[in-house]
Amino acid sequence: MAKDPHKICQSQTFETIYREYAKDLRRFIFFKTQDIDKAEDILQETFIKLWDNCSKVNYDKVKSYLYTVASNTFLNSVKHDNVVRKHQQSLVKEATNESPEFIMLEKEFMDKLERTINGLPEKQKEVFLLNRIEKKKYKDIAQELDISIKAVEKRMHAALVVLRSEIGNI
C-alpha cells in the first residue's frame, strides 16, 4: 500500500518520519564520522534535503533515500576536508618563502573566505562548491541537482556577488 508521496510534505508525516529514522540514522552517520557534532550536522542536512524534495520522494522509499543522502553528504564532507587539508599542506610548504605578515594576512583571508562561503544560502553554496571546488561544469551541476542550467548560472552569479561584496574581486 503505497502512500501519497506528497504526504511527506505534510509536517505531521515529516515529523513521524523523523521520529522513526533519526535515531538510527544518527548512529549510522556517527559510525562513519566518529564525530558527534559532524554526525548531527549531516543528520540535519539529510532531513533538510528530504523536506526540500518531499514531493519527489516516494514514501515507501524514504528510508533508502535518507540513508543515501546521509552517505553522500558524509562522502562530500570527506572530500571537502581532503581539499582543505591539501590546501593547508600546500600553504605550509609555501610558507617557508613568505613573511609572517603575509602568512597572517593569507590566513585571515582564507578564514574570511570560508566564513563568507559558509554564510551563503544553501543552494548558492552548493552550486559554488560544486563548480569551484569540485570543478564541475554548469551542465553537470544542473543534472546532478535536477535544475536548469539557467538556475545554476543564477545561483553562481548570486554567490559571486556576495563573495565580491564581502571579500573583493577574487
Whole-number pLDDT of residue 153? 94
Tens of pLDDT, residues 6-45:
588 898 999 999 999 999 999 999 998 888 999 999 999 9
Domains located in the chain, CATH noted: 1-97 (1.10.1740), 99-170 (1.10.10.10)
Tens of pLDDT, residues 99-114:
778 878 888 888 888 8
Average pLDDT of 142-168? 90
Whole-number pLDDT of residue 134? 82
Torsion 84-85-90-94 (CA) sign: positive
For every residue of 51-112, DSSP letters joined together read HHTTTTS-GGGHHHHHHHHHHHHHHHHHHHHHHHHHHHHHHHHHHTTS-HHHHHHHHHHHHH
Tens of pLDDT, residues 118-131:
888 989 988 988 89
